[in-house]
A and B are shown apart, each in its own frame.
Chain A
Amino acid sequence: MATVQPPRCAVLHTPAWPIAAAILHEPETFVAAQPLAVFHAQRVLSCSPVAWREGVRPGQRRRQAQGACPHLVIVPYNADRDARMYEPLVQSIGTLVPLIDVETPGSLLLATRGPSRYVGGDDALAVRLLTLAREGLSHTTHGLNVDEVITAGGGLGVGIADGRIAATLASRSSSRRGEPVVIQPGMQATAEFLAPYAVKVLTAVAGCSPDLIDLLERLGLRQLGDIARLPVTDLVGRFGSVGETLHRLASGTDDTPPSTIPPPPDLMMVRVFDDPLSQLDMLVFAAKALTDELGSYFHERGQVCTRIQVDAESEHGESSQRVWYHAEGMRSTTLLDRVRWQLDGWINGNEPPTAGVTLLRLTPMDIRSDAGTQSGFWGGRSEADDNATRAITRVIGLLGPQSVTVASWRGGRDPREVYEMMCFADIGSADSGGVGRQLVLRPDDDANATVWPGSLPAPAPAVVHHEPLLIEVIDTHGRGVAVNGRGLVSAAPATLVQHGKSRRIVAWAGPWPVDERWWDQRARRAARFQLVIEQPDGQCAYLAEVAAGKWWLTAEYS
């Protein structure tokens, strides 16, 4: 197999960019000296060095993280904010290099052949890139210390090496060391640099699945050098096409397989606006038509786009040009996200266009066949899951993220509390593997674990009023029924009065007292009853609660 010399590139990387972006965006709320962590889907996405020293690690659950560091400040996840705050830095680098690949906000890549010759060598280029990045950031720090922000973001690293993987790893090690890391050109030097790295790094830099990494480790292949030493044919024999990719990654040739399909020369989506658009919403809406069309074009051919160039031009000739890269391949929604980030950064940034946007152009640059989403045979994702996720995403777009929820088990005494309703949008999108997996849906199989102290035994009520309804319960003499401090009922309940209508109580059970959270503001003392009412069309059962002398209807066994 012919090996292709990978192009030499530079990667500028900030490990915890979401933290730095949050500080830049809301300097009053978030301070660099605090332990900060960004959560997404209930897990730590990234944390500041202060939080790291306290024991917070990416991938931890919220409880674990707060256990390690009780005064941890939680930063809400917001991909748009991260992208917008990164834009000035990209623009600043853009004064030196015209074409920049932004992988994610916080990490960008550029080809060094031209710029390196221009500034006089790789080392000079690395220093220049750092200076430019600092300048770009200082535009947005309103009086903040740039160094503090960069430190909170985990440092600013520059790595220059042959190929995307080597450059990315070099930049990571650079952000830890605090000085640029330049690997000598040539296959030999690259392979030597990569060899001691643990195979685990492939999950972060190349998107390999944790299961695969686990398997490699169990097979005794702990370092990238171990994989590179094996013959390609053996790896392909054991792992299939993944084996070939692994070998390519480990030996430092580029991660773009030599078999990428060159995009047809005329594949370009252009939309020219007769009426220049200056509002972001309208532009994104127009872009959606383009990305949908492009997405269905790739979908029909069984391909995904891994690199795309997005151009926008204003009426006065200003332009914004950016290349976006996504290793797993972009579909219409991921594509639209990139376009929105770019337009948002341009229009709401430091140098906004002086007139409306007249042209939007999407040019796919790298396409590969879509091998990543095989529908599951047993379990895994099915077609129904994909259809449903798509439909729900559309509903979220129409009604807003708060309106679509899924239930997650939490446990509690009250029927209202046992399941927590969580926003679907927070739990997972179509790209991250869907709903359900990250949820705690039921307690463990152990039947004893399901019994929450003080909970009501099964069956559970089918209608639960989140706003309890005020009722009156009286005894046979017409006096209100009360429960004293020792949990004793004053008289047997006989009649239930609701909206002025009286109904006879034929059976009742209780009181079951609740004395919750007496240690803080949310203290609640109540006694619960089950009441069975006789009605012309059959019986009905209620769950009622008496608190501070008033009766409330909390649930119906409908």
Chain B
Amino acid sequence: MSQVRVSSLPHSLSRPLSETPLARERLLPVHQALAPLFGLASGVLAPLALTRGHTVSCVGSAAMSCALAVLVAPTQAGSWAGVVGLASCGVQAAADLGVCLERTVFVADPTSGSRASSQQADAAAVLSALVDGVDVLLLAHHVVNSLSPSLLRRLQTRVQSRGGVLVVVNEKISSTSSLSADIRLTATTEQWQGVGSGHGHLQRRRVLLQLDGRRRARTSAHSVWLPDHRGQLSSVETTAENAGVVIPLRRVG
């Protein structure tokens, strides 16, 4: 007759379960039209693809729309977002894309204060306070550039430990940044549709999104309507009949 001794259990079994975070706790959702970029199947409503603690850099001529599109799924899922130093952010465009405005706060640029001496310290305190409270932090490129590299590294460490995501908007592809991004989203405008010479109105824009990053073997690319004729984000269907779709013009003025 053998006796099972509790102390002989393998170490891995006796460890408390809570130590291992679940996959959905480590990831934030993205918009379903962005799923193919992250190598996920399309059709899932809010695919979990954005790793908490990462820094996303949005570049290209459609960078602002692209950054707002990243905010959509997390804010709809209950996360808060902070938008820092982007006074010119189009709030209506954000609302049309689906960003949940009741969980989005707009913070003035902390680096452009009148107190020149304490600027860096102030900016650091403001950004670290925000990182503690919001899941997604959208930063203007000029805010990032005015911080010292050591401060940026500290900020990124804090984002990693807190489990947020940093999104940096940078419309100029060529300009360098001292921030090392985990994911780089390049949004290039392919074509605007709906405007002729003196008639029509802007209806939708075809944007080529390219995703590359430090831990990614190859660049993935995907074409989307950003925005489409309702101001939202949607995938460009490859089917032939899409080319013939006529969107009715709407009255202006």
Q: Which residues of A contact B (CB under 8 A)?
A: 382, 384-385, 387-392, 394-395, 398-399, 402-407, 409, 415, 418-419, 421, 424, 435-436, 439, 441-442, 454, 456-466, 489, 492, 507-510, 512-514, 530, 532, 535, 537-541, 555, 557-558
Name the 8 nearest CB pairs between A and B, nearest first: A391-B133, A436-B102, A459-B227, A538-B189, A403-B108, A458-B231, A388-B80, A512-B253
Q: Would A508 and B198 be within 8 Å (CB), given that A418-B92, A460-B93, A464-B88 are in contact?
A: yes
Interface string of B67-82 (1 = CB under 8 A from A): 0100000000011100
Residues of B within 8 Å of A508, CB to CB, are: 195, 197-198
Q: Which of B95, B204, B228 is close to A442, meaning CB atoms less than 8 Å apart?
A: B95
A434–B196 Cα distance when bound, in Å, is: 47
**CA–CA, A385 to B250, complex, Å?**
39
Interface pair A391/B132, CB less than 8 Å apart: yes
| Cα-based distance from A421 to B87 in the complex (angstroms) | 10
Q: How far is the CB of A435 from chain B (nearest CB, A)?
A: 6
Query: Which chain B residue has the least Cβ–Cβ distance from A535?
Result: B61
Cβ contact within 8 Å between A509 and B231: no
Q: Is the CB of A557 within 8 A of B135?
A: no
Nearest-neighbour CB distance to chain A for B123, whole angstroms, equals 10
Cβ of B212 under 8 Å from chain A: no
Q: Is the CB of A421 within 8 A of B106?
A: yes
How many inter-chain residue pairs (CB < 8 Å) link A and B?
A: 195
B165 → chain A closest CB, angstroms: 14
For A527, give the chain B residue with the smallest CB separation.
B253
Contact B64 A462 (CB under 8 A): yes
The reply to whether B79 and A384 contact each other, CB–CB distance below 8 Å, is yes
Chain A nearest CB: distance from B190 CB in Å?
Answer: 6
Contact between B205 and A557 (Cβ–Cβ < 8 Å)? Answer: yes
Inside 8 A of B171's CB, which chain A residues have their CB?
Answer: 558
Q: How far is the CB of B105 from chain A (nearest CB, A)?
A: 6
Interface residues of B in 161-194 (CB under 8 A from A): 171, 173, 188-192
Bound-state Cα–Cα, A399 to B171, Å: 27
Task: Report if B252 contacts A (CB, 8 A).
Answer: yes
B102 near A388 (CB under 8 angstroms)? no
* Across-interface contacts of B200 in A (CB, < 8 A): 509
> Within 8 Å CB of B62, what residues of A?
462, 558
| A405–B87 alpha-carbon span in the complex (Å) | 10
CA of A458 to CA of B192 in the docked complex: distance in angstroms?
Answer: 13
By the criterion CB–CB under 8 Å, are B198 and A492 in contact? yes
Q: Does B49 contact A (CB under 8 A)?
A: no
Residue of B nearest to A400 (CB): B108
Contact across chains for A404 and B195 when beta carbons are under 8 A apart: no
Contact of A406 among B105, B189, B195 (CB under 8 A): B105
The reply to whether B198 and A489 contact each other, CB–CB distance below 8 Å, is yes
B residues adjacent to A (C-beta < 8 A): 60-65, 68, 78-80, 87-96, 101-108, 110, 113, 122, 125-126, 129-130, 132-135, 171, 173, 188-192, 195-205, 227-231, 250-253
On whether the beta carbons of A538 and B91 are closer than 8 Å, the reply is no
Instruction: Please judge, given known A-B contacts A418-B91, A459-B227, A507-B195, whether A388 and B61 are in contact too, CB under 8 Å.
Output: no
Specify the chain B residue showing the minimal Cβ separation from A442.
B95
A540–B63 Cα distance when bound, in Å, is 12
Contacts of A510 in B (CB 8 A): 198
Q: Please measure, in the bound complex, the distance between the C-alpha atom of A399 and the C-alpha atom of B63, giving whole angstroms.
A: 27
In the bound assembly, the distance between CA atoms of A459 and B203 in angstroms comes to 7
Can you give 22 contacting A-B residue pairs, CB < 8 Å? A384-B78, A387-B80, A388-B80, A390-B132, A392-B105, A394-B133, A403-B108, A405-B106, A436-B102, A460-B90, A460-B96, A461-B92, A463-B64, A464-B91, A507-B197, A509-B198, A509-B201, A512-B253, A530-B195, A530-B201, A539-B189, A558-B63
B192 touches A390 (CB 8 A): no
Decide yes or no: A459 and B96 within 8 Å by CB, A406-B101, A441-B101, A540-B189 being known contacts: yes
A458 engages B196 (CB within 8 Å): no
Cβ-defined partner of B91 (8 Å) among A419, A532, A541: A419
Residues from chain A with Cβ under 8 Å of B199 in the complex: 509
**Distance in angstroms between the alpha carbons of A287 and B79 in the assembled complex:** 33
Q: Which residues of chain B are within 8 angstroms of A541 by Cβ–Cβ distance?
A: 192, 195, 202, 205
Are A539 and B96 within 8 A (Cβ)?
no
Assembled-state Cα–Cα distance A76/B94 (Å): 31
Q: Give the distance in Å from the alpha carbon of A465 to the alpha carbon of B62 in the complex.
A: 16
Q: Could you tell me the distance between the alpha carbons of A395 and B93 in the complex, rounded to whole angstroms?
A: 26
Q: In the docked arrangement, what's the CA distance between A538 and B61, Å?
A: 7
Taking a contact as CB atoms under 8 Å apart, the answer to whether B250 and A457 are in contact is yes
A537 touches B102 (CB 8 A): no
Given contacts A407-B106, A458-B96, A539-B192, contact A395 B87 (CB under 8 A): no
How many whole Å from B66's CB to the nearest CB in chain A?
Answer: 9
Residues of A within 8 A of B125 (CB): 398
Say yes or no: A404 contacts B197, CB within 8 Å: no
Judge whether A462 and B61 touch: CB under 8 Å. Answer: no
* Cβ–Cβ contact A537 & B61, under 8 A: yes
* Given A395-B126, A507-B192, A512-B252, also A462-B103 (CB < 8 A): no
Whether B130 pairs with A395 at a CB distance below 8 angstroms is yes
Given contacts A463-B64, A509-B200, A538-B61, contact A415 B122 (CB under 8 A): no
Report the minimal beta-carbon distance from A320 to chain B, rounded to whole angstroms: 32
B-chain residues with CB within 8 Å of residue A537 when the two chains form the complex: 60-61, 173, 188
The smallest beta-carbon distance between B58 and chain A, in angstroms, is 11
Partner of A458 from the list B88, B103, B126, B227 (CB cut-off 8 Å) is: B227
Establish whether residues A441 and B191, one from each chain, have CB atoms under 8 Å apart when the complex forms. Answer: no
- The CA of A406 and the CA of B91, in the complex, are separated in Å by 10
**Pair A507/B196 contact, Cβ less than 8 Å:** yes
CA distance A419 to B102 in the complex (A): 12
CB distance from A283 to the nearest CB of B (A): 22
A540 to B122 Cα, complex, angstroms: 36
Contact A384 B106, beta carbon cutoff 8 Å: no
Q: Find out whether the CB atom of B80 lies under 8 angstroms from the CB atom of A385.
A: yes
Contact of A509 among B101, B188, B195 (CB under 8 A): B195
User: What is the bound-complex CA distance between A388 and B253, given in angstroms?
Assistant: 40
Q: Given known contacts A385-B80, A557-B202, what 19 new A-B pairs fall within 8 Å (CB)? A: A384-B79, A388-B133, A392-B133, A394-B129, A395-B126, A419-B91, A436-B103, A439-B102, A457-B201, A457-B250, A459-B96, A462-B90, A462-B93, A464-B89, A464-B90, A513-B253, A530-B202, A532-B202, A537-B60
